[in-house]
Structure 1
């Protein structure tokens, strides 16, 4: 028997409202600084801009999710809106982790393989990587949106679910394959790269006693923290969820526990859009934001950007 997990009707609205209120200014501020204030763009800048764009779009669909959960998981906006909003919601997880992986590889090369990094710096590799992430994630998301079965409630008085409560046959036909592909290439591979590359880079950087090295270490710690807190729990529980829906796990008590844990980790993974602005501050390794207040009349305050590397 499925757990009702009534706590979700409080957990999701509170978490999503917190993420919206605190995350949207941070992401919009990062876009303003990186797009309009930075004169010279770097590879990391392109990844950060893409990550901020994905987070901003994600934050704009959260009001619909808040209403959905406050309304007892009853979707009132129709099938098309469910497909679009749901695809944006879940695609953000994989877009975010892919661009964080790009930042990870970029910082790893800059610190551990500096000669290789300098050779690649003048090429269009970063543009190809950025475009590649958008094309792959966009194509996968579009296929997901167009082919996904949507339960918008046709029963009398039954809640109209949005991307939830799929039938066993739907899992066997397409959802299991799609979920397995997403777990391997959208979670396992990127997380492995982050968890391997960054500790190696941290060991190298820790030997350098400079402000630049300390800034690079802060970048490492920020990405590792977001990965461990937001992405790993979500994907580990999603793996268990996949095993349950494909009837590998059959125990009813385990099924209830997995359902409850999935609600918690779905709230946790949304926190990445709140925590990403911390990463934006450190990750490029080239910008230092400072607020300098000037005393002369008519001068309120200005952002100054100076080279760190």
Structure 2
């Protein structure tokens, strides 16, 4: 199957059959690992871990965002197994597509909130101690969801997001891809630009700047707690560099290509293929985040008699990372 990779003059196409195997395999793995991990994390953080610190609140919201993404994956798996033929109707396409992409940026937003929270705890402990149990965390979390909700609803209400490609196959519908130039210019491009600046560029700068500063500060503290906090920081940096950064760099190139700034077919084809790979990579965030939750709030112990992993949750009064800011 040749897939169109552009709607500007000098249109290019590239063989893309690999996506029918790549996405179902990756999404199935992400669901198998991510759904129980995030649901388990939600249960533990909501019902078992006390007190409810600012970090805990952000982690709960991050797990909610991951769970929302995971709930859209069965539809996407069917879509790719059905060779990019969407059968669930226009409204389901609008909802699953917008929820999937919106929650990518919601996840980044809450990881950024955790980053700022950890930076404040280490660099400005007295301010952190005054703020960590206040309502500002809830206000920030609600603000993130409200902004995302307004964007999602406005995008859904504008019109259909599935399309009928030509080529003698009028009944085959694509979902959230193969936008016409008119639809791209009118709807997708403004949201893409907004998302790249406020949902990607700014959070990435905060994460990539604040976490090294925090790591440098913590490295001066010779305790097991500090070493554990460093592992948490490096894990979040690894998730950002593996899942989010490649996706957003390629998405920026994809935006340039769709706007006509990149015409050369080999480059356009390379961007299209890279976009498919990074779309698969960005979903891995939803199954990697539970590892972050568990490593920062629990001890992982192998139980040979039961032949399984057992998670033993420690009661820690200082919250997610237990950085001893007041000692």
Q: TM-score, normalised to structure 2's length?
A: 0.87
Q: How do 1:191-202 and structure 2 match up within 5 A?
A: 191-202=204-215
Q: 1:223 aligns with which of 209, 214, 236?
A: 236
1:201 Cα offset (Å): 0.5
Displacement, 1:121?
2.1
Secondary structure (helix, strand or coil) at the match of 1:3 reads strand
When structure 1 is superposed on structure 2, of 51-60 and 41-50 the one drifting more is 51-60
Over 3 Å counting, the alpha-carbon distance change for 1:235 and 1:290 in structure 2 is closer
Please list every run of 5 or more consecutive structure 2 residues that lacks an aligned counterpart in the other structure. Answer: 1-11, 317-321
RMSD of aligned alpha carbons: 1.9
Determine the structure 2 residue equivalent to 1:265: 278
Superposed displacement of residue 144, structure 1: 1.7
Q: Equivalents in 2 of 1:8, 1:160: separation in Å?
A: 16
Structure 1 residue runs of 5 or longer lacking an equivalent are: 296-300
Give the aligned partner of residue 169 of structure 2: 157
Residue 4 (structure 1) shift: 2.7
Q: Contact 1:149–1:170 (CA<8 Å) still a contact in 2?
A: no
Following superposition, the deviation at residue 288 of structure 1 comes to: 3.4
Partner of 1:124: 135
Q: Given the alignment, which residue of 272, 292, 298 partners 1:288? A: 298
Per-residue deviation, 1:118? 1.3
Give me the TM-score of the superposition, normalised by structure 1.
0.92
Divergent runs of 4+, >4 A: 289-293, 301-304
In the other structure, the counterpart of 2:73 is 62
Structure 1 equivalent of residue 191 of structure 2: 178
Partner of 2:315: 306
Q: 2:290 aligns with which of 270, 277, 285?
A: 277
1:46-195 alignment to 2 at 5 Å? Answer: 46-147=57-158, 149-153=160-164, 156-158=168-170, 159-195=172-208
Residue 13 of structure 2 aligns with which residue?
Answer: 2
* Cα distance, 1:152 vs structure 2: 3.5
Residue equivalent to 1:298: none
Kindly indicate whether the alpha-carbon contact (under 8 Å) linking 2:257 and 2:263 is maintained by their aligned counterparts in 1: yes
Is the 8 Å Cα contact of residues 62 and 107 (structure 2) preserved in structure 1? yes
Deviation at 1:292, TM superposition (A): 10
Find the residue that maps to 2:175 and give its secondary structure: coil
- TM-fit CA distance, 1:174: 2.7
Count of residues in correspondence between the two structures: 300
On the 8 A contact 2:163/2:178 being kept in 1, the answer is no
Task: Measure how far apart 1:290 and its partner are.
Answer: 5.8
CA contact (8 A) 2:94 2:160 kept: no
Counting helix residues as a fraction of each chain, which structure ranks higher?
A: 1
Contact 1:291-1:302 at 8 Å conserved across structures? yes
